Structure 1
Amino acid sequence: MRKWLFLFPLALAACTGSQEPPLPALLAAGGEGEVRFYRASDLQRGLASPVATWATPGLQDLAYLGREERLYLLFGDRLEAYDAAGFTESAVPQTLLASAYLPDCTGGYLRLGQNRLLVHCPGAEKAFLLPPDLGSLEEADLTGLEAPLRLALLPRGTLDLLAYMTPGALGFRPAQDPRGTPGLERFLDPPLAQGPFDLKADGSRGRLLGLGATLSETRIYALQGESLTGRRVLGDFPRPARLALDPVAGLAVLGQGFQVLEPRDSGLQEAFRTFSAGLVGVDAYLYLVAGNTLQVWDLFPSPPQRVASPLLGFSPKALAFLPVE
């Protein structure tokens, strides 16, 4: 693992603005049958010339696991792992390490834990657990979980617990033992009228963050310890939304407009623009996709400051941030 990552939380806590000079990193943008890799520093200057482009027909989702230096690509029938150890700001070799074949996972998504990966295939009403090397495939037990459903992996000690959000509840339990321990469930009152839209596990704080909508508003819920809290986000009307989270750099909600919640609440921003994908980088920038445009926002001012809006020439649906040498 690249050694500077261990020092980043200290550097971030000490600074009063985004990192200067920019941290060496790539932004991987996946959608429309390809993945394009951009220098993060270029995007922050309004430039969008990709370092490399991979053809990936049928791509569903992507994610980067930093400690293993692997980039994972999810397709409708398989999960692929690529070696990212050789990635630089000027070269992105496409080195396939492993593949795991799945039943129909059209519309599926990928979540990373500390020891395992989770692939949720909502259409097939199944979820699968894999190690980082994709060497084995196990099915998670979804008994008793009401659809529609969002899943994630919550680190707890050495375990990766199955975190879930249903229209009526937010909780976690062992992935293959619904009645096992540790486990906790809290009911949503009132239950969701739309969603759940998204679920993220913040292992650094031991919390779950979920999004959904009641009849009157979009709400973010946080389950931490024994306590469940909720609040309205993105204005006065219920809207589909997604979460963008880096445990150190910040938290944002995006959909019809966006709202930074951490490190400081920005209130609703860009209310008349629809964002389809977003990411908070460890560089303390928020990257947001609106059509074929990528907006880059500095999270340190309050409210955040837009620094660039490069045109990508395509509309990605998934983003990953990859620190490089």
Structure 2
Amino acid sequence: MRKTLLPLLLLLAGCTGSSEEPTRALLAVGVATLTNNQPGTPAEIRFYETRTLQPGSTDPPRRVGSWPLDAAPVALFYRRSLEGGNDQLWVLTPDRLRRYNASLLRLDSVGSPSLDGLDVPLNTDCSRGYLRPGQSRLLLVCPPTDQSRPIEAYQAWLIPYNATTLPDSINFSDPNLTRLDAPARLALGPSDQLLYLTPSQMGRYDFTNPYLERTFTRSAATPTDLIFAGNLALGLMDDNDPTTTDTALLTWNLNPGSEVQFFRDSNIAARRFANGAPPLLVLGTGLARFAEGFQIPPESVLSRNTRYLAATTAQDQFLYLTRQDSPALSVIDLTLNLASLSASALRTSFLGSFQERLVDLAFIPVE
């Protein structure tokens, strides 16, 4: 009897692809309605069971619930509690920053939104803002709408994860910062040092010691994203040439004896990183995985002309990806080589009406 059962069990394990229990998680999706071609209201955060979005699932996308918003979402950030407090979902809108309690989210219910001690007006236009996590603080950056304005026109805050009020903003009149070219992208590095990328500078500054910096010449380029991952500062730049498709990726290990490395690819125009790296994914017009070079999906599976809006990777080894021109969500199996991606490793679902856009994503593990 045992000899008969063993081949059967091996066959069943092969059919499921893995004997591991699937990650129990929700995908928070920031949804805005286009008004005059700009994100507006009605707006909300929708929560979907991730398993029902993934390739291989035959279930339709399962929407567990939603939280209403009074303005279009700009950015989402989820943080799992490491100090015994509440899990957090941070939500940035054009004029406010809110932190919600995410500890009670479940696969069967998301309940009503419950603030976690922070709901603050920003008193500035943050419609182009972004959030970058550090070890003990979250960086909020609100760039000016006019990218030609100097660095002093930027507003940014280093916010402790347990803050109940908005701290004083970063002083860009600091001589170590006012010298920076603009436009600029900011992030947090080791020990919450401020990282910066401008058309001619990549550096770090801890507000106490002298800055450490590398300079280069990209005077016609615009920095479009900056993150810290795998002990590297990683940046993306736009060459601002509408007649070409080009990706310029910069890496630096932040050591005094090392230099900035440049990587280019003319097949796609990547302008931002997927949240949650590693693995490192870049997106914009086209999509690629970066590991000392660019892995680009086959054109027959994913067009290099597709324009992507937001993306996140997670411990379940899937990439969740939204588009600029529709409410479509694509999910890709990252356990496979992206350069040889097959249609069976990709699933696309439409999660809204034609005038809605999926602005940002957050992956939330649940009990």
Secondary structure at the counterpart of residue 76 of structure 1? coil
Q: Give the aligned CA root-mean-square deviation in angstroms.
A: 2.3
Where in structure 2 are there 5+ consecutive unaligned residues?
A: 1-16, 33-42, 145-152, 173-177
Secondary structure at the counterpart of residue 21 of structure 1? coil
1:109 aligns with 2:138: no
Q: Percent of aligned positions with the same letter in both sequences?
A: 33
Of the candidates 72, 96, 106, which is equivalent to residue 88 of structure 1? 106
CA distance in 2, matches of 1:81, 1:211: 28
- For 2:28, the equivalent position in structure 1 comes to 28
CA distance in 1, matches of 2:337, 2:75: 31
With the length of structure 1 as denominator, give the TM-score of the two structures.
Answer: 0.83
CA distance in 2, matches of 1:251, 1:283: 15
1:323 aligns with 2:355: no
After superposition, give the CA deviation of every residue in 1:127-148 in whole Å (9 maximum; x if it has no partner): 1121112324121133222221
Of the candidates 227, 231, 237, which is equivalent to residue 206 of structure 1? 231
Residue 192 of structure 1 and its aligned partner are, at CA, apart by 5.2
After superposition, give the CA deviation of every residue in 1:265-316 in whole Å (9 maximum; x if it has no partner): 5235531211111111121111111221111111111134533111111321
Residue 62 of structure 1 and its aligned partner are, at CA, apart by 1.0
Cα pair distance change 1:245/1:60, threshold 3 Å: closer
- For 1:166, the equivalent position in structure 2 comes to 198
Residue 264 of structure 1 and its aligned partner are, at CA, apart by 8.5
1:280 aligns with 2:341: no
Where in structure 1 are there 5+ consecutive unaligned residues?
A: 1-16
After superposition, give the CA deviation of every residue in 1:134-175 in whole Å (9 maximum; x if it has no partner): 324121133222221111111x2xx3111111111111112x
CA distance in 2, matches of 1:295, 1:22: 19
Of the candidates 181, 200, 209, which is equivalent to residue 181 of structure 1? 209
CA distance in 1, matches of 2:235, 2:168: 25
With the length of structure 2 as denominator, give the TM-score of the two structures.
Answer: 0.74
Cα pair distance change 1:222/1:23, threshold 3 Å: same
- For 1:292, the equivalent position in structure 2 comes to 327
CA distance in 2, matches of 1:265, 1:166: 23
Larger radius of gyration: 2
- Partner AA of 2:25 in structure 1: A
1:75 aligns with 2:93: yes
After superposition, give the CA deviation of every residue in 1:173-203 in whole Å (9 maximum; x if it has no partner): 12xx2xx327321123x3153321111112x
- For 1:253, the equivalent position in structure 2 comes to 282
Instruction: Say whether the 8 Å CA contact 1:100–1:134 is kept in structure 2.
Output: no
- For 2:74, the equivalent position in structure 1 comes to 60
1:100 aligns with 2:100: no
- Partner AA of 1:200 in structure 2: I
Cα pair distance change 1:192/1:31, threshold 3 Å: farther
Secondary structure at the counterpart of residue 209 of structure 2? coil
CA distance in 2, matches of 1:257, 1:20: 32
Cα pair distance change 1:295/1:35, threshold 3 Å: same
Cα pair distance change 1:183/1:244, threshold 3 Å: same
1:50 aligns with 2:70: no
Residue 78 of structure 1 and its aligned partner are, at CA, apart by 1.8
Mean CA deviation greater in 17-26 or 295-304: 17-26
Secondary structure at the counterpart of residue 315 of structure 1? strand
- For 1:301, the equivalent position in structure 2 comes to 336
Instruction: Say whether the 8 Å CA contact 1:252–1:262 is kept in structure 2.
Output: no
Cα pair distance change 1:198/1:37, threshold 3 Å: same
CA distance in 1, matches of 2:247, 2:219: 9
Map 1:11-26 onto structure 2 (within 5 A).
20-26=20-26
Secondary structure at the counterpart of residue 322 of structure 2? strand
Mean CA deviation greater in 17-26 or 286-295: 17-26
- Partner AA of 2:79 in structure 1: L
User: How many residues matched?
Assistant: 296
Of the candidates 137, 151, 161, which is equivalent to residue 132 of structure 1? 161
Of the candidates 351, 355, 361, which is equivalent to residue 312 of structure 1? 351
1:118 aligns with 2:173: no
Instruction: Say whether the 8 Å CA contact 1:195–1:240 is kept in structure 2.
Output: no
1:144 aligns with 2:163: no
